[in-house]
A and B are shown apart, each in its own frame.
Chain A
């Protein structure tokens, strides 16, 4: 390591310890500055030698103990007790600086906290990132036979990760998390259906969520431009399961909002991990983009067609985009396999959906657009999920109904998009999982007005849907759903009218659990 680097780091350590009162252990140092553990220990040793006073040092002693039966002992001691502790060892024991901190805490476990928080963040990074936690790159021993299977469960794993973040609440990526939550909340519903479909939904929502978040956070477009190529490259090179780079490129070209990952670095304190996260989000988005071209996503896109139903109402016309066109042809085919009645709706929806998605995907630098896209995509996914659930055995009438709230929400989003106010997007996003109808309860500003609008729209929509439902009139088990739309858990729990958006939703039960 260059002398200058060493000096710079030593100074940083000083500031961390004395100003921020942080415990700097060698492990934390190595992961933070991407140096090997041995380097980090050496660095700490230098630091201790340079700054003699005012700081507490914890040493790690290791060696064989004196005693009848052989025992290898490793222990941590504070500076003053070093000599005394050395006596316990039989012969030489190795002494290394374990950590430096401003003061010794009463509970030794406090020393471990900073390290663990760092480990936790590394752990939460998206699945395909090979960070220093996951490949143990900074230890002194190389184990070439260790393999980590990323392809096996890339998306499924994303769920527990994101769910963890959901559960834990606001982490450092606080702004981002809620967005992600919104998108991911659709996942529980997806669980009702086949796994690969779920995966797709998840991946989509994952990507959507991240892009959405980024959209929100990142205003300047230059960053986007910057990140887009970077993200693209990374996505193409790093992603293990990425499909055609071509579709990725096209997706990137269209999605101006995608390069939001740069916003992530802003949030996170660790520059390095920012990098990772940024690329990760880009990758996630890219993955999603790729996914749209995959066969798997056809399922999702199929569901999107059900979203289209609502689209009909909105009838937003936007320019076409390749991404959308990718999905549209598949939708009709899939639809044919589903309930015929739904097909009608779907086909009608498809058109509008296409237009909507296209609109969304249009690389407009405006946030609202991107947010609309985000909104729509989660909606679509939600719909697809719901549809899957319904496909499980529910009457088709459920679908329209379930679509209704989403449609209304979408409508809101699209309408809102027109005026260009970003607030609405957020509202809808958060409530996507809850049938969209409960958009009202979003955290973000401007939600009240939108919420109300959404409500009105929702009810309106539901009425419309009722009529369409009657037209569709599913087969026997057609539960007479009122516009309020029951829950679509796919388990047959059809609820009756539920016009009150504040009322509990059975899906929320599943989501929470």
Chain B
């Protein structure tokens, strides 16, 4: 480690890396035909114990009771899973209903409606939530919260206050001043699709591997210690993968993007450590947590010790700084069923709910775990990133116990030409953009 400023012999800095993806690998799980009640139960159990401990500090005097034990007019605290009843949420039964309602079957962007209401459910029963303090547009199905309020005459539960789990505890950020080391986050390469610009991608690779630029730039590039590709690296034309048998010429059309990606990843892996995560459009499984892309897809790159194929979501530690990221499915799903001012707010909410993907398995594909919920965030990351978003945004949020998290929304590289660079010393980040338009 260390940087030699000698002419023509810059050395790349190194960092320590530890992968924490074990929880996301489905190696040991067995599928015996179970459905999703078990994952909900595991989630409820996990978070209820947590919330009970928090409730005792939050409202020491108010009793905690179950839904069935609610008494009218009596203030109490109930803990359970939220369910949001949405009128516009697409339901398979709608396709079979005799009378088609005026509402179209599926609206792609957002299924919210003014008539949505929330219901709280625990093992004993469910109760509809009322009151002004709880806004259905903020919450989604699958969050476990504690509610303080009382039952009304109508049988609703009128909410006075909401307690979320809050940011999880965080390991201490290593504060000793060190040199600048950078980690680059990029997503949405979409290699092989018609709207990706290979020249732009090649410029990106040339820059981070140290071919491009003068000495000053190369010395900056030598401080890049890690690259994470957060999903959607391959852009196979959608029309080809519709389940039909393929003619042999189509087979090569499917294989070409992957080969091209392998050559590109080869160039990166030959220079610095690389993590690649699967995304919604990648040849990986559909349900979360997505398993790592298979090594056979990258025969050239997988030979390097710097190449790592990771799960989605991906959690790792670099130089004792914890990173957590997804390829975007969790935030995109939240966007369909709730409302926020920007993507970073969705991300902040998931952290405060301590759950990466609360809408799984309701509207987001998920593996039917039986005794655990891997999306529960146990330890607060220092950097939380989400890939395949529309634009680059970043913010720092603070927790009640001194946690601070850098939230990063990584844009799609094929559309924007922007990657994100995070400085490990102080978690400052900036954009790294590439332009190749000649006619300005």
Min distance, Cβ B247 to any Cβ of chain A, angstroms: 10
Contact of B10 with A by CB under 8 A = yes
Whether A32 sits at the interface, judged by CB under 8 Å, is: no
A78 touching B270, Cβ below 8 Å: no
Q: Tell whether, in the assembled complex, residue B436 and residue A108 are in contact, meaning their CB atoms are under 8 Å apart.
A: yes
- Is there an interface contact between B203 and A164, defined as CB atoms closer than 8 Å? no
A78's nearest neighbour on chain B, judged by CB, is B438
- In the assembled complex, how far is the CB of residue A167 from the closest CB belonging to chain B, in whole angstroms? 5
Residue of B nearest to A149 (CB): B303
- A72 at interface, CB cutoff 8 A: yes
Q: A153 interface residue, CB < 8 Å from B?
A: yes
Among A72, A84, A109, A142, contact of B432 (Cβ-Cβ < 8 Å): A72
Question: Do B434 and A142 have beta carbons less than 8 Å apart?
Answer: no
**Which one of A112-120, A360-368, A487-495 is at the B interface?**
A112-120
Given contacts A69-B430, A139-B210, A112 and B263 within 8 Å (CB-CB) = no
Asked if B206 lies at the interface with its beta carbon under 8 angstroms from chain A, I say: yes
| Contact mask for chain B residues 189-207; partner A; CB cutoff 8 A; 1 contact, 0 none | 0000000011100110011
- Count: A-B pairs, CB below 8 Å: 180
- CB closest chain-B residue, reference A105: B438
Is residue B212 contacting chain A, with contact meaning CB distance below 8 A? yes
Within 8 A of B (CB), among A129-153: 133-136, 138-150, 152-153
Task: List chain B residues, Cβ under 8 A from A38.
Answer: 8
State A149–B295 Cα separation when bound (angstroms). Answer: 13
B98 at the interface (CB under 8 A from A): no
Contact of B11 among A62, A70, A133, A141 (CB under 8 A): A141
Contact A72 to B430, CB < 8 A, known contacts A84-B440, A142-B11: yes
Contact between B433 and A72, CB atoms less than 8 A apart: yes
Q: Is the CB of B304 within 8 A of A148?
A: yes
Q: Which residues of B contact A150 (CB under 8 A)?
A: 303
Chain B's closest residue to A74 (CB) is B434
Q: Size class of A's contact patch?
A: 35 or more
A residues within 8 A CB of B214? 94, 96
Which B-chain residue is minimally distant from A132 (CB atoms)? B270
- For residue A111, CB closer than 8 A to chain B, the reply is yes
User: CA of A153 to CA of B199 in the docked complex: distance in angstroms?
Assistant: 31
Is the CB of B119 closer than 8 A to any CB of chain A?
A: no
Which residues does chain B contribute within 8 Å of A139, judged by CB atoms? 209-211, 218, 271
Interface residues of B in 245-273 (CB under 8 A from A): 248, 251-252, 255, 259-260, 262-263, 266-267, 269-272
Within 8 A of B (CB), among A73-121: 73-78, 81, 84-85, 94, 96, 104, 108-109, 111-112, 115-116, 119-120
A-chain residues with CB within 8 Å of residue B436 when the two chains form the complex? 75-76, 108-109
* Complex Cα gap A93–B270 (Å): 27
Chain B's closest residue to A152 (CB) is B303
* Pair B303/A136 contact, Cβ less than 8 Å: no
B109 CB, min distance to chain A CBs, angstroms: 28
Nearest CB in chain B: distance from A55 CB, A: 15
For the complex, give the distance between the alpha carbons of A116 and B206 in Å.
Answer: 13
B248 → chain A closest CB, angstroms: 6
**Set A123, A136, A160: member contacting B263, Cβ < 8 A:** A123
Q: Is A50 an interface residue (CB 8 A)?
A: no
Task: Check A81/B199 contact, CB under 8 A, given A140-B8, A141-B210.
Answer: no
Closest chain A CB from B402 CB (angstroms): 26
Whether the Cβ atoms of A134 and B10 lie closer than 8 Å is no
Query: Which residues from chain B contact A140 at a C-beta distance below 8 Å?
Result: 8, 10, 210-211, 213, 215, 218, 221-222
* A76 cross-chain contacts in B, Cβ below 8 A: 199, 203, 435-436, 438
Inside 8 A of B221's CB, which chain A residues have their CB? 140-141
Q: Which residues of A contact B266 (CB under 8 A)?
A: 123, 133-134
**B216: interface (CB < 8 Å):** yes
B242 at the binding interface (Cβ < 8 Å): no
Is the pair A94, B303 in contact by a Cβ cutoff of 8 Å? no
A30 and B270 alpha carbons, distance in the complex (Å) = 16
For residue A156, which residue of chain B has the nearest CB?
B299
With a cutoff of 8 Å between Cβ atoms, the chain A residues found around residue B259 in the complex are 164
CA A123 – CA B260 in complex, angstroms? 10
Is A71 located at the chain interface by the 8 A CB criterion? yes
- Residue from A30, A58, A75, A512 in contact with B435 in the complex, judged by beta carbons closer than 8 Å: A75
Mark contacts of B105-133 with chain A using CB atoms, 8 A cut-off: 1 yes-contact digit, 0 otherwise.
Answer: 00000000000000000000000000000
> Is the CB of A48 closer than 8 A to any CB of chain B?
no
Determine which of A74, A119, A157, A168 lies in contact with B207 in the assembled complex, contact meaning CB atoms within 8 Å.
Answer: A74
Q: Is B427 an interface residue (CB 8 A)?
A: no
Which A residues touch B338, using CB under 8 A? none
Q: Flag whether A27 is at the interface (Cβ < 8 A).
A: yes
Tell me, yes or no, whether B334 is within 8 Å of chain A by CB.
no
The smallest C-beta distance from B204 to any residue of chain A, in angstroms, reads 8
Most buried by B among A36, A115, A123, A168: A123
Kindly state whether residue A37 has any CB partner on chain B within 8 Å. yes
B306 on the interface (CB 8 Å rule)? Answer: yes
Q: Which residues of B contact A60 (CB under 8 A)?
A: 203, 212-213
Contact A112 B299 (CB under 8 A): no
Q: A69-B430, A135-B270, A167-B252 are in contact. Are A143 and B438 (CB under 8 A)?
A: no
Q: Are A71 and B299 in contact (CB under 8 A)?
A: no
Select from chain B the residue with minimum beta-carbon distance to A37.
Answer: B211
When the two chains form their complex, are residues A104 and B270 in contact, meaning their CB atoms are under 8 A apart? Answer: no
* Alpha-carbon gap, A298 to B388, bound state (A): 51
Q: Give the distance in Å from the alpha carbon of A144 to the alpha carbon of B299 in the complex.
A: 22
CB distance from A37 to the nearest CB of B (A): 4
B272 touches A143 (CB 8 A): yes
Q: With an 8 A cutoff between CB atoms, is A9 at the interface?
A: no
Residues in chain B near residue A143, CB distance under 8 A: 11-12, 270-272
Q: Which residues of A contact B272 (CB under 8 A)?
A: 143, 146
Is A506 an interface residue, CB under 8 A from the partner?
no
Knowing A62-B207, A74-B212, A164-B259 are in contact, say whether A141-B299 is a contact too (CB < 8 A). Answer: no
CB distance from A173 to the nearest CB of B (A): 17
A513 to chain B: which residues have CB within 8 Å? Answer: 251
Q: Is B244 an interface residue (CB 8 A)?
A: no
Mark each residue of chain B from 418 to 440: 1 if its CB lies under 8 Å from any CB of chain A, else 0.
00010000000011111111101
B72 within 8 A of A: no
Task: Let me know if B12 and A74 touch, CB within 8 A.
Answer: no
Contact assessment for B213 and A62 in the assembled complex, using a CB-CB cutoff below 8 Å: yes
Complex Cα gap A147–B215 (Å): 25
A140 and B218 CA atoms in complex are apart in Å by: 7
- Rounded to whole angstroms, the CA-CA distance of A84 and B306 in the bound complex is 40
User: Could you tell me if A81 and B440 are in contact, using CB atoms closer than 8 angstroms?
Assistant: yes
**B305 sits at the interface (CB 8 A):** yes
Q: Name the B residues within 8 Å of A112 (CB-CB).
A: 198-199, 202
- Closest A residue to B10 by beta carbon equals A141
How far is A234 from B153 in the complex, measured between Cα atoms in Å?
Answer: 90
CB of B300 within 8 Å of the partner chain: yes
A161 at the interface (CB under 8 A from B): yes
B430 to A70, Cβ gap below 8 A? yes
Complex contact B438–A141 (CB within 8 A) = no
The CA-CA distance from A215 to B260 in the complex, in Å, is: 32
Chain A residue with Cβ nearest B203: A74
Nearest B residue to A137, CB-CB: B270
A72 touches B438 (CB 8 A): no
Residue of B nearest to A120 (CB): B263
Interface: B14 (CB within 8 A): yes
Interface string of B267-298 (1 = CB under 8 A from A): 10111100000000000000000000000100
Residues of A within 8 A of B161 (CB): none
Pick from B198, B304, B430, B438: contact of A71, CB under 8 Å: B430
Which 5 residue pairs are nearest across A and B when measured between Cβ atoms? A75-B435, A141-B210, A136-B270, A139-B210, A140-B218
* A/B interface sample: 21 pairs, CB < 8 A: A72-B433, A74-B212, A76-B438, A94-B216, A96-B213, A96-B214, A108-B437, A120-B263, A127-B303, A133-B263, A135-B270, A136-B267, A140-B218, A141-B222, A146-B269, A146-B271, A146-B305, A149-B305, A164-B259, A512-B248, A513-B251
Given A73-B432, A76-B435, A141-B271, 16 extra CB contacts under 8 A: A26-B211, A38-B8, A65-B433, A73-B433, A74-B203, A116-B198, A139-B211, A140-B218, A141-B12, A147-B305, A147-B306, A153-B299, A160-B296, A167-B252, A512-B251, A513-B251
